[in-house]
Amino acid sequence: MVSLEDDRLSVNGHAARYTVRDAAALRGLLAETSRQHPLVLREAGLSAPHDILILPGRLARRSIPSVVVPAGMYFMMGDNRDNSADSRFFGLVSREQLIGRAERILVSAATLDHWQPRLSRFWAALQ
């Protein structure tokens, strides 16, 4: 069972733990995102610890009712949650639809700068 309440994730009744991180430490954070006063949190306790990005001023889906995830199905949710269209919007994903493992960024564009390519991110490893 997966639930999200006020940006706090729980899986099978186990709540993730959060600690505040320094947003300045994020390399390559878009200038537009930086202007939105992001909150960077370290999420731990459910999987390997990782940073997540919250944009408090943005209208986002911060809570969802509990979702029971059947065998063979996956609930997908990213780390840049306020900029992600994920299972909170499109629902569960079946195992058959998962065909690979994301390891690198293929291409990247500055959407707020007339879609200019961000060459430094091309083929960069995911962190």
pLDDT of residue 92: 97
Strand partners for 52: 41
Q: In this structure, which long-range contacts are made by residues 14-19, counting pairs with CB atoms below 8 Å and at least 24 apart in sequence? A: 14/45, 14/46, 15/45, 16/43, 16/44, 16/45, 16/46, 17/43, 17/44, 17/45, 18/42, 18/43, 18/44, 19/44
Q: Is the pTM of this model over 0.75?
A: no
pLDDT of residue 38: 87
pLDDT of residue 67: 95
Judged on CB neighbours under 10 Å (0-12, 13-18, 19+), 95 is exposed
Residue 63 contacts by C-beta under 8 Å, 6 or more apart in sequence? 4, 5, 6
pLDDT of residue 29: 67
Q: Which CATH fold topology does 2-100 show?
A: Umud Fragment, subunit A (2.10.109)
pLDDT of residue 127: 74
Q: Tens place of pLDDT for every residue, the chain, 127 residues?
A: 999 999 999 999 999 999 998 877 666 666 777 778 888 899 999 988 988 889 888 888 899 999 999 999 999 988 788 888 899 999 999 999 999 888 998 988 887 778 889 898 899 998 7
